[in-house]
Amino acid sequence: MARKSSNRLWWILGGIVLVLVAGLVVAKQVGWIGQTKPIEVELAQVKRTDIIERVSASGRVQPEVEVKLSPDVSGEIIGLYVEEGDSVVKGQLLLKIRPDNYESQMARAQASVNSSRASFEQARAQQAQIEARLIRAKADFERNRKLFEDKVVSAADFEQIRANYEVAQQEIEAAKANVQAAQYNIRSAEAGLRDAAENLRKTTIFAPVSGTISLLNVEIGERVVGTSQMAGTELMRIANLNNMEVRVNVNENDIVRVALGDTAEIDVDAYSSTDRKFKGVVTEIANTASGLAASGASASLSSAADAVTEFEVKIRIMNESFRDLMPKRGKKNYPFKPGMTASVDIITERKANVLSVPIAAVTTRDTTAAQPAPQGQQPAPANQQATTPTKAAPIQEVVFVQKEGKAQRREVTTGISDFENIEIVSGVSAGEVVVSGPFAVISKRLSDGDLIQKKQPEAKKDQKSSNEN
């Protein structure tokens, strides 16, 4: 009886083993075990779309023309005839500086001119007197020379007469030099008078251009410093608020794609709540980086290497894009104020109906791998390997195409891109499915031939887990 029970137990154990072996065989054939787990990825289809390449930057709104006014003379402001925000026309009186000192300087300069002219007249009179003495001395010399030749006049007397004649000749030359010096003194005094008159004129300041007082820094009673060689106290600024521009700094990697005449979309922060966009056009591109332009050639290379290299770009805001914001009646109130913050998207290129993939689907791969040493040749020592220069490996742009559940690496040639898609010039065809994410998987983990499967949305994952539970 016990032997019969033992045989039965062995039969049961054998059946269980057979069932387990059969299950393992079936699971392996189906792929449940013995295979690498597929990598979950996001997929996207290669399709045709319109791509607009843009360069984004931020900056501030400024007038295209803004004139800073500084005085050429120093003094106290006794008259201020404009306020900030007023519109002015060219030649309009803006302010006056106390002229008392400059009137005194002009009076002294005028007196110096009159004195110089009087000295000139005196020198001319002296010249006339000396010319008369020269004529008389010459006549005496000629008459006595004949008498001397006839032995009528002694030699001593004749020598005295000749000396008087020669002295008269020297005196006339000196008189002519005095007259010329007096003329120069008059010119110098007249130059001083003109300078004094100009300084007096500069105490009254007029508008050099038409526009709007965008900034007023002074009040009546303030003292200002003025110099003709350098900028003095800044009094005010006059700007033409009808023509405004956005000045932005563009990174050196993007500046090569920006060209004069490129259009731009401008988002001014003051109008962000209304989703209002303004149109612009690139009018000026700096030839020198902003940091180097400010610091000059003396900037150190180390500081230049650490700083971000940017170039200033000026973008004119097209008047037709904000004409509806201008008031139709009453005092002018311009929609843009100097210093407003704005961001721009400069449109550098447009292409319609081009083959494209999501920009995240394109990555780079090194085309070379470590090569083993030829048979029979010993590898180089470690220290020699470290010092042996190596060439930079070529870099390929690639995408991974889904092919029968596997990732197939394809080398591609790319073109322009926008914030979402990138143009594919060659390498894939429309309708193919490429891996578009996650970024870490595409850039580092994914290799040619890896098993892949489409990543399920989080909502479906949660639902599947709840059903299993």
Residues 447 and 406 in one domain: yes
Residue 321 sits at φ, ψ, to 5 deg, of -80, -15
Q: What is the chain's mean pLDDT, rounded? A: 82
CATH value at residue 106: 1.10.287.1700
β-strand partners of 312: 249
Higher pLDDT pick, 295 / 274: 274
- Mapped to the 3 state alphabet, what secondary structure does the chain carry? CHHHHHHHHHHHHHHHHHHHHHHHHHHHHHCCCCCCCCEEEEEEECEEEEEEEEEEEEEEEEECCEEEECCCCCEEEEEECCCCCCEECCCCEEEEECCHHHHHHHHHHHHHHHHHHHHHHHHHHHHHHHHHHHHHHHHHHHHHHHHHHCCCCCHHHHHHHHHHHHHHHHHHHHHHHHHHHHHHHHHHHHHHHHHHHHHHHCCEEECCCCEEEEEECCCCCCEECCCCCCCCCCCEEEECCCCEEEEEEEEHHHHCCCCCCCEEEEEEHHHHHHCCCEEEEEEEECCCCHHHHHHCCCCCHHHHHHCCCEEEEEEEECHHHCHHHCCCCCCCCCCCCCCCEEEEEEEEEEEEEEEEEEHHHCEEEECCCCCCCCCCCCCCCHHHHHHCCCCCCCEEEEEEEEECCEEEEEECEEEEECCCEEEEEECCCCCCEEEEECHHHHHHHCCCCCEEEECCCHHHHHHHHHHHC
pLDDT score of 3: 55
Q: Which whole number is the average pLDDT over 256-275?
A: 91
Whole-Å CA distances, 281 to 254, 264, 277, 346: 17, 6, 13, 8
pLDDT in tens, 103-133: 999 999 999 999 999 998 988 888 888 888 8
* 6 pLDDT more than 90: no
Higher pLDDT pick, 178 / 374: 178
pLDDT score of 67: 92
Residues 419 and 325 in one domain: no
Provide the pLDDT confidence category of residue 329 given band limits of 50, 70 and 90. very low
Q: Which whole number is the average pLDDT over 184-189?
A: 92
CA distance 195 to 206: 19
Q: What is the CA radius of gyration of the chain?
A: 48
Q: Which CB contacts under 8 angstroms, 24+ apart, belong to 409-412?
A: 409/365, 409/447, 409/448, 412/362
* 265 pLDDT more than 60: yes
* 216 pLDDT more than 90: yes
Provide the pLDDT confidence category of residue 392 given band limits of 50, 70 and 90. low
* 323 pLDDT more than 90: no
pLDDT in tens, 58-110: 999 999 999 999 999 999 999 999 999 888 999 999 999 999 999 999 999 99
Q: Is residue 322 part of a domain?
A: yes
* 355 pLDDT more than 80: yes
Q: Is residue 30 part of a domain?
A: no
Domain that residue 447 falls in: 39-51+355-368+391-468
Residue 149 sits at φ, ψ, to 5 deg, of -65, -30
Q: Is residue 21 part of a domain?
A: no
Tokens 């049961």 belong to residue:
12
Higher pLDDT pick, 69 / 467: 69
Provide the pLDDT confidence category of residue 224 given band limits of 50, 70 and 90. very high
* 438 pLDDT more than 60: yes
* 386 pLDDT more than 50: no
Residues 263 and 127 in one domain: no
Q: Is residue 218 part of a domain?
A: yes
Residues 207 and 195 in one domain: no
Residues 82 and 222 in one domain: yes
Q: Is residue 150 part of a domain?
A: yes
Residues 134 and 196 in one domain: yes
Poorest-confidence range of 154-158, 274-278, 315-319, 460-464? 460-464
pLDDT score of 371: 44
Number of domains in the chain: 4
CA distance 74 to 336: 34
CATH value at residue 210: 2.40.50.100
Residues contacting 437, CB < 8 A, separation 6+: 41, 42, 358, 360, 361, 455
Q: Is residue 300 part of a domain?
A: no
Residues 324 and 176 in one domain: no
Q: Which whole number is the average pLDDT over 413-431?
A: 88
Provide the pLDDT confidence category of residue 382 given band limits of 50, 70 and 90. very low
Residues 158 and 233 in one domain: no
pLDDT in tens, 134-162: 888 888 777 777 777 777 777 787 788 88
pLDDT score of 187: 92
Residues 197 and 264 in one domain: no
Q: Is residue 31 part of a domain?
A: no
pLDDT score of 298: 47
* 328 pLDDT more than 70: no
Provide the pLDDT confidence category of residue 29 given band limits of 50, 70 and 90. low
* 384 pLDDT more than 80: no
CATH value at residue 364: 2.40.420.20
Higher pLDDT pick, 443 / 328: 443
Q: Which whole number is the average pLDDT over 6-26?
A: 70
Residues 161 and 147 in one domain: yes
* 374 pLDDT more than 50: no
The answer to whether the CB of 433 falls within 8 A of the CB of 18 is: no
Higher pLDDT pick, 49 / 14: 49
pLDDT score of 387: 46
Whole-Å CA distances, 147 to 142, 153, 157, 309: 9, 6, 11, 99
Residue 230 sits at φ, ψ, to 5 deg, of -145, 170
Provide the pLDDT confidence category of residue 290 given band limits of 50, 70 and 90. confident
Residues 433 and 407 in one domain: yes
Poorest-confidence range of 2-6, 216-220, 264-268? 2-6
pLDDT score of 246: 95
pLDDT score of 138: 81
Query: Model-level pTM?
Result: 0.65
Residues 451 and 327 in one domain: no
CATH value at residue 314: 2.40.30.170
Q: Is residue 10 part of a domain?
A: no
Provide the pLDDT confidence category of residue 467 given band limits of 50, 70 and 90. low
